[in-house]
Amino acid sequence: MAITPRKMIAMDEEDLQILSAHCQDGVIKVSDIHYFSAEKRLIVEMNRFLWENGKKQNIRVRSVLHFEKVSKLARQAIDPAKKNDVLSLLAIVFSEKDAPAGHIDLLFSGNATLRLEVECVEAQLTDMKAAWEASSKPRHPNT
């Protein structure tokens, strides 16, 4: 399936909100979360739902979410030993502590969280060329 891959960069909280909207309902295996502490880098591979595709087709694309300047990574309700566990990304949220530093939370269903202590917001989303029609569209209860 041919798509035009996206490449997005987030350098502040507003950019990160846009990136979060594009990543909502991304499906991630625990084995696809890679933290390189010496390089202060977190890489998360996911199957991203193309919300920007509108109502045309239900499409997922293989994407990579990349964070720089990560000084610490904490997990809640995510066991790195359970590599085949699947997480559904709900949102990415930045909370400033000592400008421009703070933490970025990747919030998943089931109250699972990855918390990144960061020197500043520096994130990137890159779509690969691998895309396919999804069997269904993610649904959210009306709030």
Environment class of residue 82 by beta-carbon count within 10 Å: exposed (0-12), middle (13-18) or buried (19+)? exposed
Tokens 């909207």 map to which residue? 21
pLDDT tens profile 78-127: 999 999 999 999 999 999 999 999 999 999 999 999 999 999 999 999 99
Phi, then psi, of 37 in degrees rounded to 5: -60, -40
Q: How far apart are CA 66 and CA 64, in angstroms?
A: 6
Model confidence at 11, pLDDT cuts 50, 70, 90, reads: very high
CA–CA dist 10, 123 (Å, integer): 5
pLDDT score recorded for residue 28: 98
* pLDDT confidence band for 137 (50 / 70 / 90): confident
User: Dihedral (C-alpha) 34, 11, 48, 71: value to the nearest 10 degrees?
Assistant: 20
Between CA 80 and CA 112 the distance in angstroms is: 12
Delimit the domains of the chain by residue range. Answer: 7-133
Q: 31, 90 in Cβ contact below 8 A?
A: no
Omega of the bond leading into 100 within 30 degrees of 0 (cis): yes
Q: In whole angstroms, what is the distance from residue 142 CA to residue 95 CA?
A: 26
pLDDT at 117: 98
pTM, full prediction? 0.93
Mean of pLDDT values over 12-21: 97
Q: Position of tokens 């694309």?
A: 61
